[in-house]
Amino acid sequence: MTAVSTRERENSFHLQMSQFWSGDLGLTLVSISLVVLVFVITPLREAGFPAHFVFGVIIVALMIYGAFAVEQSRLGTLLLVAFMLATAIFLLIGRFRPTPVMHQFGSILSTITLALYVRIVLVVMFRTGPIRWSRIQGAVSAYLLLGMAWASAFQVVEQLQPGSFHFVMAPRDFDQLTSKLTYFSFCTLTAIGSEITPISPIARSLTIAEAVVGQLFPAILIGTLVAMAMQSHTKS
């Protein structure tokens, strides 16, 4: 009886998480948090604005909710949540005890975590069902997460091999580096160009890859959503 009751509670919890993420509320919160973080907080971070930590906590919490919403094994869910928490802990330690090693590990873990979060958002977005506003929000969130993931990857390259990027004004600390490379990442993703120049071979390769993904991702995503909408309309 206890085992059955535990299983029922787990199923109920998973159903609640799925409803939260498949509806408008979950992806709305993700979209708003990412927009504020990318377009407001990150640029201000270069001037020492501390509020990015609060939005980081909110996004980590939403990541954990999303991990429970995706259909996967219990072990896979626990490993995913553990990895996200480990990333948050490393970033927190790096904030209060900044060392080059902590910043490097934090950037590596952030890159992987953001890539996993892109997968979570896409899995939730491409579930069967009618095309609603939440799917559009999911597409926007996935696009912003891609830019953030590449920015973290650029940080890893610059930290491991200083001078991989040429800056007009060199960043004085980690916050300025994060802000400048996030700006460069989204300039590359949207193909508008920037004054920051990749120098090392791996930096150039990552830049080219992001530019290609930035052009293909919206086209493929829009085509898939249109196909899903037509299929849903045909069934109805």
What would the pLDDT profile of 47-68 be if each residue is shown by its tens digit?
666 656 665 666 676 666 666 6
**Higher-pLDDT residue of 143, 120:** 143
DSSP string of the chain?
-HHHHHHHHHHHHHHHHHHHHHSHHHHHHHHHHHHHIIIIIHHHHTTT-TTHHHHHHHHHHHHHHHHHHS---HHHHHHHHHHHHHHHHHHHHHHHS--HHHHHHHHHHHHHHHHHHHHHHHHHHTSSS---HHHHHHHHHHHHHHHHHHHHHHHHHHHHSTTSEE-SS--SSHHHHHHHHHHHHHHHHTT---S-EE-SHHHHHHHHHHHHHHHHHHHHHHHHHHHHHHHHHHH-
Express each pLDDT in 72-110 by its tens digit.
Answer: 667 777 787 788 788 878 777 877 777 888 888 888 888
The model's pTM: 0.79
pLDDT at residue 37 in the model: 78
For 162-217, the pLDDT digits (tens) are: 999 999 988 888 888 988 999 999 999 998 888 999 999 999 999 999 999 999 98
Q: Is the pLDDT of residue 118 over 80?
A: yes
